[in-house]
Amino acid sequence: MGSILLAVGAAAAYLIAYHTYGKFLARKIFALDPSIRTPAVEINDGTDYVPTKKGILFGHHYTSIAGTGPIVGPAIGIIWGWVPAFIWVTVGCIFMGAVHDLGALVISMRHRGRGIGDIAGDLISARVRVMFLCIIALALTIVLAIFCLVIATLFNMYPGAVFSVWIQIPIAMALGHMIYKSKLPALPLSLVALVVLGAAVYVGEVYCGIILENITIGSLTIVPRVTWSILLLIYVFIASVLPVTWLLQPRDYINGHVLFVIMILLAAGVLVSRPEIVAPALELHPKGAPPILPFLFVTIACGAISGFHCLVSSGTTSKQIRHETDACPIGYGSMLMEGMLAVFVLVAVAGGIGLLADNAGHIGEARWAHHYESWGAAQGLGAKVGAFVNGSANMLSFLGIKVALGATIMGVFVACFAGTTLDTATRLQRYVISELGEGIGVKPLRNKYIATTVAVVAAGVLALYDGQGKGGLLLWPLFGATNQLLAALAFLVITVYLARKGKPIIYTLIPFFIMLAMTAWAITYKLNDFYRDYTQNNKNLHLLIITSVIVVLEIWMIVESAMTIIQSRAKRIPTDN
């Protein structure tokens, strides 16, 4: 019964929060006005700026911010106990994550759909703009390289998911054509597409599992991860330069419905199986793990708060929103939905995993303890995703769905969402490179084909650096802290915006200080590790240098921003862009 109380309690908290705190922020703090023309309406270039129905854009935004983040974060963060993980996912989501996403979306809408890093130049200084964009570009390069690895690993783990993930692309393009060219209703078409995708999942599991083999060219051996990474990078280049209505929107709209189906299945699985919580309530010292403070706040990002979300809000979503008032359900509401997904992940890995025995005969608390016996055991990508997939498949088995099919369904779900993040991150990186090129005076980078080429090549070099498709892991130790640093810096920009508008800043200033403290603490911890590795083992010099540069940029940005806030509160300078 504990799992049911967790799910129901979180759902009630999110619902109440949306209708109280979310609407208060929308009306009183950000003053959303349906009469203001949004960038999508004003510019409407048919490629990036496209006025979009609220339901379709909700699907795009939600699936873009979710990806595998609300799965892998809670699946590893629970090693410190389900109580701190649950509290952070619920409270953090309501008072920090959703505020962050909404604020980034609003200020981008009011600055012609520009990215939050670019806007920092207007609100703070040109120097801060370049520094912020450099940090964003680094973070997105890591995201692209790592998500190629994520999807390639998922394809190896769940070969039955490969067919349905790739077949979704032509399904989405057909859906986009029928909605925007033939003017047919979106919802019925998307439901038909969902049924076709469901059939593809079954076909992939039963008849069409795809397993790549090593490819040998002379003395060169190309492993499957590398092959998948190359194919994915080619795909995201094409997806990034296409109009959003051709692929990005319709694919995300389908994935939005996939999400609802999955969440309904998980909710039904919880109600029928009623898994008992077998994870410990609190475990302060897991074997080999870093301290719970600050690393809980860095490990569990998506589902609570994630800096990547400000890039989506101010990158693709702000260019498609039709009415300012749509920002509340899309910005604030989508984050609450992601928080609910993270809660289901916690239930799956805290309770569902113990419902059935594994191959070694572990069941209940023994199975959980075996899976999470140490930080190293729970750290691998397969271990993170596997805990969620296996726990969910166990719960679905109580609905009459075979465990193997249930695992494929969840594998498709994770892979589809990872693919959406890969699509969106590439387009976001294209925007960032274009804005950075404009800021430093390199005009060719403003061309979308050149900017996309730079984005894909940089990610490809990193991903394929080691020849095994795992090159992104070279910088992965930086990502958690850097991602949450982006959230802190986004709050900083939002706070400066509110200060210059003469609005109360307490609702964004407190989250800024919390995220700044946690990320600064985590980065300091990491710096010490990297320094020790270099001085004792001559390793990780690149991580030491890059992290040191990030710290300097962070301090510089904070000092300039603080000066701007003080001046703005004194002069009450109004800005309407």
DSSP structure string for 254-283: HHHHHHHHHHHHHHHHHHHH-PPP-S-S--
Q: What is the Cα Rg of the chain in Å?
A: 22
pLDDT value at 173 more than 90: yes
Q: What angle do CA 57, 142, 227 make, to 5 degrees?
A: 90
> Strand pairing partners for 221?
216
Average pLDDT over residues 17-27: 98
**What's the chain's average pLDDT?**
90
Stretch 135-144: mean pLDDT: 91
Residue 329 to residue 95: CA distance in whole angstroms: 15
Res 303: pLDDT: 92
Residue 280: closest CA among 173, 368, 183: 368
At position 77, the amino acid (one-letter code) is G
What are 372-408's pLDDT values in tens digits? 888 877 666 667 788 898 999 999 999 999 998 888 8
The yes-or-no verdict on residue 83 having pLDDT over 80 is: yes
Q: What is the pLDDT of residue 381?
A: 62
Q: Which range, 112-121, 177-186, 198-207, 559-568, has the best average confidence (pLDDT)?
A: 112-121
Q: What is the largest CA-CA distance in the chain?
A: 70
According to the model, what pLDDT value does residue 380 have?
65
**pLDDT value at 127 more than 90:** no
DSSP 182: S
Q: State the average pLDDT over residues 423-432.
A: 92
Question: What would the two tokens of residue 344 be?
Answer: 């289901």
Q: What is the pLDDT of residue 575?
A: 47
DSSP state of 576: -
* 347 token code pair: 């239930």
d(CA 484, CA 421): 17
Distance of CA 396 to the CA centre of its chain: 25
Phi-psi label, residue 540: left if phi above 0, alpha if psi -120 to 50, beta otherwise: left
Query: Phi/psi at 369 (nearest 5 deg)?
Result: -60, -35
- Strand 215-217 relative to strand 220-222: parallel, antiparallel, unpaired? antiparallel
pLDDT of 568 strictly over 70 = no
| CA distances in angstroms from 577 to 33, 317, 543, listed in the order given | 14, 18, 39
Which tokens in the block code for residue 260? 């609802």
Spatial separation of the C-alpha atoms in residues 368 and 352, rounded to whole Å: 10
CA atoms within 13 A on the CB side of 422: 28
Question: Confidence band (pLDDT; 50, 70, 90) for 569?
Answer: low
Measured in residues, the chain has a length of 577
Please give the pLDDT value at position 571.
63
At residue 140, the pLDDT reads 92
Distance, CA of 566 to CA of 559 (rounded, Å): 11
Q: Give the model's pLDDT for residue 181.
A: 85
DSSP tag of 52: B
- Whole-number Cα distances in Å, 416 to 185, 202, 249: 24, 15, 14
Paired strand residues for 217? 220
All residues at 6 or more sequence positions from 576 whose CB lies less than 8 Å from its CB, including other chains: 110
Read off the pTM. Answer: 0.90
Burial (CB < 10 A; 0-12, 13-18, 19+), residue 37, is exposed
- Per-residue HEC secondary structure of 391-452 comes to HHHHHHHCCCCCHHHHHHHHHHHHHHHHHHHHHHHHHHHHHHHHHHHHHHCCHHHHCHHHHH
Partners of 220 in beta bridges? 217
400/396 Cα distance (integer angstroms) = 7
Average pLDDT over residues 93-106: 98
- 288 pLDDT more than 50: yes
- Helix (H) or strand (E) segment spanning residue 215: strand 215-217
Contact 86/407 with Cβ under 8 angstroms?
no
pLDDT at 573: 46
**Range in 3-7, 214-218, 506-510 with the lowest mean pLDDT:** 214-218
- For the CA atoms of 21, 27, 33, 39, the dihedral, rounded to the nearest 10 degrees, stands at -40
* d(C-alpha 37, C-alpha 58), whole Å: 19
Give me 99's structure tokens. 């505020």
pLDDT band at 318 (very low <50, low <70, confident <90, very high): very high
Res. 570: pLDDT tops 80: no
Q: Which amino acid, residue 67?
A: G
CA-wise closest residue to 146 among 469, 519, 465: 469
Q: How confident is the model at residue 577 (pLDDT cuts 50, 70, 90)?
A: very low
Residue 532 CB partners (closer than 8 Å, separation 6+): none
CB 415 within 8 A of CB 166: no
Q: Crossing angle, helix 224-241 and helix 448-463, to 10 degrees?
A: 160
Q: Does domain 2-472 bear CATH number 1.10.4160?
A: yes
